[in-house]
Amino acid sequence: MSATRSNSSSEPVPVALGPHENRLLSDAITRAGAQLADLSEARALVWDGGPRDFPELPEQIRWVQLNSAGVEHWFSTKVFEKYPNVQFTSAVGAFSASVAEHALMMLLAGVRALPAHLEADTWRHVELAPRVGTLRDATVTILGAGGIGRALIPMLAPLGAHVIAVNRSGKPVPGALETVAAQQMNEVWERSDHVVIAAPATPATKHVVERHALDALKPHSWIVNVARGDLLDTDAAVEALRAGTIGGLALDVTDPEPLPDGHPLWSLPNVIITPHDSNPAHHRVPAFADRVAVNVSRYVAGQELIGTIDSALGY
């Protein structure tokens, strides 16, 4: 089943926007050659909300553009099952540059011992200062070499880091020193200096970084998570930090989320936590508008859409 259509009529394709009006998104729809319409008359829907307030779709709707890259919460509400004849697309890749930049910032901060320096309230002699590392000649494994991973690889290259990309298929990723299929993932831990988690959240990726992986890493290894909190075994990671098995954690996402007051991660010195803001709203909306313009244009022209959700894969 495909949502693409042939624009055999001179009439603009009617596309609805919800749940609220947004000038950037409405402009994106019209500049792509479509016409804003009520949901009852539309052929497609651009949805800038979540699954809880998702509307009943009229029978003529054939495509829905969602505003999030991760869609695990949509699977849990059975929306895709309810509308088997509707093609849903996510915003995967639309926010990659912002999230990759955030991942790089956190990785550099950890490797360069920034948390310890920020805590300092006096000048320390070199022998008493925390050990500062470098990304030059370091091996950084990126779990989930999709949009975020592919955006991060060229950011790491000028710093002299070598990338091992892990993806589902094992198909080579441009810029990576090596690409490894997810089934062979256990082979990369001992060869990794640092790990960036950027994979989609599915039942198969829960705790993809678990105790075995943590034990195989190095005392200087930092783990950066910009995907979803449950891809990392939090309890095992806390134990690894306390034991000195790994160098630190840099988390934009946590499990649980939000991370409750009093959680051990708040008090450990080699942890960086940001409140899921690698893709802040003032960057997200313009980036989503660009994706909307591209996909609406493709839909109008009868071309393949970007970010098609595969129910079998879970993303």
How many whole angstroms separate alpha carbon 40 and alpha carbon 96? Answer: 33
How many whole angstroms separate alpha carbon 284 and alpha carbon 292? Answer: 12
Task: Catalytic residue, from 150, 168, 194, 228: name it.
Answer: 228
251 - beta bridge partners?
225, 273
Name residues whose C-beta falls within 8 Å of residue 184's C-beta, 6 or more positions apart in sequence: 170
211 is catalytic: no
Q: How many CB atoms lie within 10 A of CB 269?
A: 10
Residue 108: closest CA among 143, 152, 76: 152
Phi/psi at 62 (nearest 5 deg)?
A: -120, -10
How many whole angstroms separate alpha carbon 157 and alpha carbon 138? Answer: 11
Task: Catalytic residue, from 239, 257, 263, 283: name it.
Answer: 257
276 is catalytic: yes
Task: Catalytic residue, from 5, 211, 276, 283: name it.
Answer: 276
178 is catalytic: no
Tokens at residue 50, please?
Answer: 């979540």
Burial of residue 30 (number of CB atoms within 10 Å: 0-12, 13-18, 19+): middle
Sign of CA dihedral 133, 254, 174, 97: negative
Q: How many CB atoms lie within 10 A of CB 28?
A: 25
| CA-derived radius of gyration, the chain | 22
Residues with a known catalytic role = 228, 257, 276
